Each structure stands twice: as structure tokens, then as C-alpha cells.
Amino acid sequence: TDQAGFDQLALELFHFQYEQNPVYREYVNALQIVGADVKRVEDIPYLPIQFFKTRDVRTTVFEPEAVFMSSGTTQTINSRHSVKSLALYRESFLFAFEQFYGPVNEWCIIGLLPSYLERSNSSLVVMADDLVRRSGHPDSGFYLYEHEKLAQVLQSLEARQQKTLLIGVTFGLLDFAEQFPMPLRHTIIMETGGMKGRREEITRQEVHDILKTAFGLSSIHSEYGMTELLSQGYSKGEGIFHTPAWMQIRVRQEDDPLDVRLSGTGIINVIDLANIYSCCFIATEDVGRVYEDGSFEVQGRVDNSDIRGCSLMVAGL
């Protein structure tokens, strides 16, 4: 849709969620914003993502078809996203995937998602599993830790010049690159983040450099998604992400969470219009830069102690 159409839909969804989502309404009211007065997208408040850790963020009353949970250590409180309709999620990720990569049935899709596969409630696993099935390729599938088998499969796919997408968590891809470097001409590597203390934290740029060297690639692709959303952004290299038409990124200023801008540097806010039954307006904890054309990059995470206004709000509710 054009921007006017997007804005119109965003406003309609804001008013719907303000009416039908008790947690969001409570938050908006706590900001002393009157829901009925919000008539421009610029005035819509964004719900801090931490609410998904402590509250059930639901719009309307429903029995969730799935509950996505974030991965985390046993010490952390994980986010929970009650999903009313998995069909809506599937439609969102499939449409976006094909917008960026073309028909899924032209691909062989391989998931290297070890830690995630051990959890059935990961939105990433649901997505990858669906793409694997829809690709219909006999070699599509998941590899836990069988790096040697994965290397053989990739070599045979390369020999047949089969378009292949290897989607993996960062530590899994780095382990694999260390053991089985090989030139890849017909394979795209897409990392989805995820070090989770498995390796010393290194920057995304360093990760990409290691993978490019190991596999003779000019770029590494990335996926930007999270438990609390139903849509993803994709990067085809250089860490610059693009979003599908129903998802847009804004930036808020660290010292004033209500100062939200269309472009520039700050903390990332996401409008995800597919998130109809939870909340379409999410204030994340990712620091980044949004460009004039709506593309964006992620530069790191906010140190929680820095989110002053926001944590005070959360504490106050």
C-alpha cells in the first residue's frame, strides 16, 4: 500500500487495539494519552517490548492457537506471544519471503537451528519448518549438529546448481564454517542472530566476514524477526534490512521515548500491521539507524539500565 493507506490502517488498528487490548489500553492511559484523541500515526504510543515478559498482551478474548516464546537462559524471564491464528502468521512470513526471494518451491531450504529445534514454541522454527515443507525439495530439512552430513548435502546441491537457502543461528553457522569451509556458488547463507552465550559475543560484521571467507561469498543475508512480531525484515547484505509493505520501522530518542522519528539513529520501534491480535506498535530494545527510504540497520541492544522513561513506566504499572 502507499503511505497514506498504511497510515490509515495503522490508525484503525490502534483504535481497535486500544479498545480491545487491556494491557495496551492501560499503558496508553498511563501515558495520559486519550485514545480517542489519537488521529495521526505520529501520535500512536508504542508498547515497550518488556510487557510480553510479564503480561498477556492480547487484543480481543481468544484461545491462542500457539504461544511463541523467546529463547533465553533459565535465569531470564522469556517473552510470551499468544498467537490467535497461525494461518495469519504463515500468510505474513510466506508473502514476505516470496516478495524478497521469489517462489519458495524453487528453493532447497535447510535449517541449522540447533538450540531452537529443542523448543517447539519458537516462531523461527515454525517459519523454517513451513518453508521446508513448502519448498518440496527432498533435501530440504533441519540439521541439528550433523555438520558432516550437512557438508555432503550442500556439496551435492552445489554440484546440481540447486538454489539453496541455509538459514541458521549465528553460533551454528560459525561452528559449521570452522569445520567445513567450502566455496558456495548457489547457496545463500542467512543468519538469524543468536549467540546466547554459546560463544564470545562478536559483532554482526565480524560474523559476516568469517562466513564470507569460509564460503567464498560476497554477502551474508540476515533475518530480523522476534517472538513478539508476526513479520520479518530481510537483509541481502551489509546488514541493511528491508521490510514488507505492512511493516515499518521508526526510531525513538533514548532520552524521550515519545519522541519518535521516521529516520535517523535511536532505538527501534516497529509497526507490524500483521500483529492484529496482540499489539501492532512495539518499542524494541534494539539500537539502530533508519534511512530515508525506510530501510534500517541494527547496531546493538540497549543496556536495560538506560531505558529510563520506559522502565519507570513499566515499574509504575
Mean pLDDT lowest for which of 19-33, 214-228, 263-277, 297-311? 297-311
Q: Quick one: pLDDT band at residue 307, thresholds 50, 70, 90?
A: very low
Q: What is the phi/psi pair of residue 13, to 5°?
A: -70, -35
- Span 112-133, pLDDT tens digits: 987 666 777 889 999 999 999 9
The reported pLDDT for the residue numbered 195 is 63
Residue 11's nearest CA partner among 37, 48, 47, 50 is 37
The reported pLDDT for the residue numbered 308 is 41
The reported pLDDT for the residue numbered 204 is 84
The reported pLDDT for the residue numbered 247 is 98
The reported pLDDT for the residue numbered 112 is 93
Question: CB within 8 A of 2, min separation 6: which ones?
Answer: none
Average pLDDT, whole number, for the chain? 91
The reported pLDDT for the residue numbered 95 is 96
261 pLDDT exceeds 60? yes
The reported pLDDT for the residue numbered 217 is 98
Mean pLDDT of 262-285: 97
The reported pLDDT for the residue numbered 54 is 94
**E strand spans, 254-303:** 256-261, 264-272, 281-290, 296-301
Helix pair 86-101, 123-135: axis angle to 10 deg = 60
Q: Quick one: pLDDT band at residue 48, thresholds 50, 70, 90?
A: very high
The reported pLDDT for the residue numbered 304 is 57
- Span 127-170, pLDDT tens digits: 999 999 999 999 999 988 789 999 999 999 999 999 999 999 88
The reported pLDDT for the residue numbered 317 is 37
